[in-house]
Amino acid sequence: MTPRTRTGAAAFAAVLLAAATGCAAADRSSHGPAAPAKPSHRPAAPGAASAGPAPFTLVASGDVLPHDSIIRQAAADAGGTGYDFRPMLAGVRSVVSGADLAICHMETVYGAEGGPYTGYPAFKSPPEVAVALKETGYDSCSTASNHTLDDGAAGLGRTLDALDKAGVRHAGSARSAEEAARPTLLKAGGATVAQLAYTYDTNGYPLPEGQPWAVNLIDEQKIVADARAARKAGADVVVVSVHWGTEWQSAPDERQLSLGQALTASNTGGRPDIDLIIGTHAHVPQAYEKVNGTWIVYGMGDQIAGDMINHNGSYDPRGNQGTLARFTFVPPAAPGGRWEVRKAEFVPQLFDTARGRVVNLNAAVRKGEEQYTETRDAIREVVLSRGAARDGLAAGE
């Protein structure tokens, strides 16, 4: 992304999506034991112990993008000692922690302990962000973005080290060829879920010398090969996080549409290779759509960001809008079949920069905070703009 704050640099030229040619493909092997599942939040039905694999809910959200103003807010919330990002996310904690599996997008890299920390254009965020993500309920984050190499291989390594320390898994960037060659496997309900992640570019920063595997770049054939390898490694469900699209454009661009069509059409033995696509990067909410029987979230918008300036040099409130996507998967009717999405939901959210807090808009309006009604409705209109309601997508809380 090329985000900016209201007090940041003048508007930057738009970065158009292009298919990258980059990373050398590697055969994916098992990541070892998948991360343990969260305790189920649903009561067991009578006889459930013998009823086969349990269904699960997956929640995903958009870009975590700590501008200078966000870093200052975290310092204030910490009371002058360190940085505390947990209060910012408290408004969606019930949604995130209530899922069996929750996935975020960590847009930026972390600076060294004690700083210095910077916002746009070359981000170095406090590693305390990772602690807040874990305590909010996130299990894993995509780390492939156009800012992944803002501080080179060192910044990439610090970020993954901090996520590991906090207990948050990650996909999309790697510290070694061996790490890059392993899919991220996560347990959710009765399923093993693979998270794969890719980005359209790294803002012109070259991949570190001798490390072509450091960041996953978008390549259709590689994504399909990785998905198939993840399935062989034991994944029941394959989720692809993809950093793509045209900034400030609510409608998915032609590359998103064509790649989405191709990826959802890919199958092995009649079973789709990819079960869900979740997108980030555009700064604004984009549509949800069911394509070839598979849900695509073209863009979830920003979850945390400062006041945003668009390419016209104007403050654009859409840059602080987003959604949480929530999908309930049920096991296949027969062994070897596809886990199906039984319920698809979106939860409109806003980062209220005046308060420095993420707001669950449906919950806020229900509680009488009518000032959020117009924003909630605008997000809903975009999300449903490609006919997702006909396929059962509904607003959640």
The three-state DSSP-derived secondary structure of 307-354 is CEECCCCCECHHHHEEEEEEEEEECCCCCCCCCEEEEEEEEEEEEECC
Per-residue pLDDT 10s for the chain (397 aa) are 444 443 333 333 333 333 333 333 333 233 445 766 676 554 444 444 446 899 999 999 999 999 999 999 999 999 989 999 999 999 999 999 999 999 999 999 999 999 999 999 999 999 999 999 999 999 999 999 999 999 999 999 999 999 999 999 999 999 999 999 999 999 999 999 999 999 999 999 999 999 999 999 999 999 999 999 999 999 999 999 999 999 999 999 999 999 999 999 999 999 999 999 999 999 999 999 999 999 999 999 999 999 999 999 999 999 999 999 999 999 999 988 999 999 999 999 999 999 999 999 999 999 999 999 999 999 999 999 999 999 999 999 9
- Domains defined for the chain, CATH in brackets: 54-395 (3.60.21.10)
**Nearest alpha-carbon partner for 185 in 339, 33, 330, 37:** 33
Say how far apart CA 3 and CA 311 lie, in whole Å: 10
| pTM of the predicted structure, to 2 decimals | 0.89
Residues sharing a CB contact under 8 Å with residue 208, sequence separation 6 or more, in sequence order = 149, 152, 153, 156, 214
Please give the helix or strand (H or E) that residue 4 lies within, else none: none
